[in-house]
Amino acid sequence: MNFTKQNEHPELLHQLSLEVINSILSRALVLYTDESRSDLGRSGSGVLIKTGTGEIRYCFRNPDHSSIFRSELFAIREALNPALEADADDVWILTDIKSSIQYLRNLPNILDKLG
């Protein structure tokens, strides 16, 4: 199934999101990321990592004038570092920027083309 914000009612998308989140197993490592940007060009990212035993939260400043896309990638990178150290079998990345996940999904192809 492929749903887009342009074609679906917001309440349906909200309900579908909750169904996915509620289906995640309790032993999974869940990474929530978000970004923010001011009118002055300042940007920052936030990360919430949920484990079976607790939560880790942190936020950080990004370089000025970072795009929303780039800020989201910063957040995902920062969230993945502890996930890789934890050697988790089941990792979920929950983000509101679809293009960042598409970029990461295509990264092996991009790297192959770069040589």
Q: Which pLDDT band holds residue 5 (cuts at 50, 70, 90)? A: low
For residue range 51-99, list pLDDT tens digits in order. 888 899 999 999 999 998 999 999 998 888 888 887 778 888 888 888 8
Q: How many alpha carbons fall within 13 Å on the CB side of residue 43?
A: 20
Tell me, what's the pLDDT at 63? 94
Q: Which pLDDT band holds residue 2 (cuts at 50, 70, 90)? A: low
Tell me, what's the pLDDT at 84? 82
For residue range 17-55, list pLDDT tens digits in order. 788 888 887 788 899 999 999 999 999 999 999 988 889
3-class state of residue 45 by DSSP = strand
Tell me, what's the pLDDT at 40? 92
Tell me, what's the pLDDT at 110? 64
Is the pLDDT higher at 109 or at 42? 42
Q: What is the pTM of this model?
A: 0.74
Tell me, what's the pLDDT at 1? 58
- The b-or-e profile of 34-65 (16+ CB within 10 A means b, else e) is bbebeeeeebbbbbbbbbeeeeeeeeeebeee
Yes or no: say if 95 and 85 are a contact pair by the CB < 8 Å rule: no
